[in-house]
Amino acid sequence: MHKPGGILVSGNHFKTIANALVQNLKRSPLEDTTQPQPVHRLDFATTGILLVGKTSRSIRVLNKLFEDRAIKKTYYAVTIGEMKTEGSITTEVDEKPCKSNYKVHQSVSSKRFEQLNLVELEPFTGRRHQLRKHLSGIGHPILGDKDYGKESLILNGKGLYLHAYSLKFTHPFTKEVLYLKDGFPENFKKIFDLLK
């Protein structure tokens, strides 16, 4: 399913994706049907694809696939400043080892930010705010990042330009290889003609 920015996936709040699923998804016809729930997390401000389980068994198995890193996650971000074409970032997050690969697909000049980049990101670990911290750490924060961006370059009211684009994995029951995508948001398309 698509997660919009500005909504929590779950937690002790009324307005969460987890609370909305019950009214918006059909129950599974299988015996172990349960209340649908997200099987991974996206930050409050991040948009994109969110995987949801509708049976006890599927939730358990999908959680294990994420834990074992058997699901390939691809994100896209808009970053600030002139970057190398591709690279790997291995800086620790919360004193734990982690790794993110990045690849720049298009760069455009910007009056306010000098240069904006459309960057594909592949996190190999799932630390909290990993991609945001990694990009900020190499001097190329994500556009709209109020927590890890440069104060003089904060873009107010436009949200965070970080999008969970795709998930690729082998279906645990049918063994079919699934490639699930959530197309680019409009705010990305307005910057990069490559996406039009």
Query: Residue 104 has what pLDDT?
Result: 98
Residue pLDDT, tens place only, 92-115: 999 999 999 999 999 999 998 899
Looking at the annotation, which residues are catalytic?
43
In the prediction, which pLDDT does 157 show? Answer: 67
Quick one: pLDDT at residue 109? 96
- 40-44, 115-119, 125-129, 191-195 — most confident range: 115-119
What digits encode the pLDDT tens for the residues 135-184?
Answer: 999 999 999 998 998 776 666 667 899 999 999 999 989 999 999 999 99
Sign of the C-alpha dihedral, residues 34, 40, 42, 48?
A: negative
Helix (H) or strand (E) holding 178: strand 177-181
Q: Which long-range contacts (CB under 8 A, 24 or more apart) does 97-105 make?
A: 97/125, 98/123, 98/124, 98/125, 98/127, 98/130, 98/134, 99/123, 99/124, 99/125, 100/124, 100/125, 100/130, 100/131, 100/134, 102/135, 105/192, 105/194
Whole-structure pTM value: 0.92
pLDDT of residue 39: 93
23 pLDDT more than 90: no
pLDDT attached to residue 156: 65
